[in-house]
Amino acid sequence: MLQNGDLNIMFLTTNGPGSASSSSDQENKSDDNFKNNYLDDYPKKNAEILSGQYGVNLLLVGISLMLALSNSESQVDKKDVLAFLVAVMLVQLFWMLWYIVKKKKHECPAPEKDIHAGTSWLRGGLTLLAILSLIMDAFHIGYFVGYEQCLSPVIGVFPAVHAVHTISQVYFIWVHVKDIIKTYENFERFGVIHAVFTNLLLWCNGVVTEADHVLQSYQKRQVDLGIGNMTLGNREPYCNCTTKACTIFLHSLYYLYPFNIEYHIFVSVILFVMWKNIGRTLEYQRKIKVVIRIAGIIIGPVMGLIAFSSSIGVLVMYIIQVGDSVEARESALNMFYCYGIIILFFMCTSGSIGLLIYRSENAPMDYSKIPSRKLDSELLFITATGSWLMSWCSIISVISTSTSPKYRWTSFFYSLLLIFEKYIQNLFIIESLHRKADNDEDEADGPITEIFSVSGGLTLSTNISLAPSFSGIINAAFESQERECASVKSDEENKKEEHIQNNRLSEESISLPQKSTKKLNKKRKIVKNIAIFLFMCNISLWILAAFGCRPQYDNGLEESTFGFSAWSTVVNIAMPLNLFYRMHSVASLFEVFLKV
């Protein structure tokens, strides 16, 4: 009842100022906006809470269903969960269709775009992950066709809907994710948050399936080695496969799951930024032309490649040895920990060097408001806690254990280094993202007229020619190629803004200092090497954890200290966070590499 009322009010204020999607967006506004705001009927802060609470409840319904599913005695079945997921995906599909059609109809004026949201390389990466997800869907459908007689139709419908959902969503992200929505805000808030939480639900579903698979294969190993006393349930359907490819499909699936899981969590993060952008008033921004220079970037990539290839070696060795015999398992674990200690030591060192380089420079920080960057920092911090919890548990179990396997102390130092590595890497990434881009990279280039980034203090390159570039700033937020219609802004507004801008620019250009550029160039090269090295290391550590290296189960130390059920709960919650952390820092480090 309430929501309808709110929507009606929203339609009346379509041309409102789009004020304050978050409390602080409000601040840099002229008195004009204040007046509009006063007359604005619907408080935007509440609009956010209204849709945010809906999204959280949607997620909680799904989590409750999955929790019930995990108890074998409950009446909730796999097909109930899948039916629920199909329903939420269909709702999202209809909403996206509505949005696309509406945008096509009202193409004028072109929507404002947030250039920081969903950069093209991020969207490219997502497309790759989406293709792998589509292959997974195909395998699922193949598996269903084989066992059609004895499987519920939902098991076949789910991958088909998921495939359609994936394709439409990738299209939507490519075309619309940068949009800053300013019309019908409340309805679109619900749509976007629904999309965010649909993807989070699909992520949860992937995580649960994956965790179940890992647990099963661990129990199978235990039974094979004659250690455990678990009974293995039969998960095969009760009929014969008609296509003879069912087993192949089933086994291949588990190599594709990690990609599907990463795909959904990344989509939800990107869409969350879109949601935060609704009703936002853009500050002046302009695209940064990224010129990737690889001169002098050798040590980082080489060391990174060494780390990557040795990881693959360790992965293969580990998987072969760990199920072989008790002694082989012990040596496999020891090898894994030793390898981990070496790679983490190098990561800590390089991160620290990066931070020391930053400390030795007097470069300014960029504290402007960019929702996507803020979210990046917060996600790095929050997802690191998963891995920290596991590490502290390991440390406590090593200290308190009465047994003393070969890998006891290597496990201890591995956990300790893991804590430091994430601590330092977070500091390095977050500081890198908040530093103002230097653009004295090449003095031979002549005067650079690019204006970097955003905010209450615009950053200028040191060699700036003010006059010619200036008039272009005002509408830089609109991507010029999309502006087929006449600009909506009145001349007066433009003049006013130009005036404010002018004042700022002239003030700031005075305070820009002169630096010795040669020295910086060298430092920058080191930081670039560090970023690319850490990038490769994080990929390596993601692969190890995603494809079966889980010493947290195999070493038995934590299990004896915390008990199997408590420890598997901790791992099942912390491991997905850890995997997301790795992938997310890969993305962030790539951004650092481009930016430095």
Footprint on residues 396-435 left by a copy of itself (CB under 8 A): 396-397, 400-402, 419, 423-424, 426-427, 430-431, 434-435
Interface mask toward a copy of itself for 167-206; x: CB under 8 A:
----------------------------------------
User: Looking only at residues 430 through 459 of this chain, which bind a copy of itself when binding is defined by CB under 8 A?
Assistant: 430-431, 434-435, 455-457
According to the binding rule CB under 8 A, does residue 247 interact with a copy of itself? Answer: no
Interactions with a copy of itself, residue window 49-68 (CB under 8 A): 49-50, 52-53, 56-57, 60-61, 63-65, 67-68
Nearest to 541 by CA among 251, 297, 336: 336
Q: Which of residues 343-382 bind a copy of itself (CB under 8 A)?
A: 352, 355-356, 358-359, 362, 364-365, 367-369, 374, 377, 381
Per-residue three-class SS string for 311-357: HHHHHHHHHHHHCCCHHHHHHHHHHHHHHHHHHHHHHHHHHHHHHHH
Residues in the chain: 596
Read off the tokens for 470: 């200036």
**DSSP 8-state code for residue 445:** G
Size, binding site for a copy of itself by CB under 8 A: 97
Contact status: 70 vs a copy of itself (CB under 8 A): yes
Show the DSSP H helices in 361-407 as ranges. Answer: 371-400
List the Cα angle 85/91/97 in 5-degree steps.
135
Residues 6+ apart with CB under 8 A from 101: none
Place of tokens 């995580």: 207
Decide: is 207 part of the binding site for a copy of itself (CB under 8 A): no
Q: Which is nearer to a copy of itself, 2 or 292 (CB)?
A: 2
State the minimum distance, in angstroms, from the CB of residue 131 to a copy of itself: 34
Q: Which amino acid is at 125?
A: G
Residue 393 binds a copy of itself (CB under 8 A): yes
State the nearest-atom distance from the C-beta of 579 to a copy of itself, in Å: 19
Helices and strands, number each (H, E), in the chain: 18, 4
461 binds a copy of itself (CB under 8 A): no
- Residue of the chain from 184, 413, 547, 562 that contacts a copy of itself (CB under 8 A): 562
Does position 565 bind a copy of itself by CB under 8 A?
yes
459 has which bridge partners?
452
CB of 405 to a copy of itself, least distance (A): 15
Question: In whole angstroms, what is the distance from residue 407 CA to residue 401 CA?
Answer: 12
Site for a copy of itself in 7-36 (CB under 8 A): 9, 19-20, 23-29, 31, 34-35
Contact flag: residue 216 with a copy of itself (CB under 8 A): no
Q: Interface residues for a copy of itself in 463-522 (CB under 8 A)? A: 504, 507-508, 510-511, 513
**Interior/surface letters 407-426, b for 16+ CB within 10 angstroms, e for the rest:** bbebbbbbbbbbbbbbebbb
Which phi-psi region, left, alpha or beta, contains residue 455 (left: φ > 0; alpha: ψ -120 to 50)? left
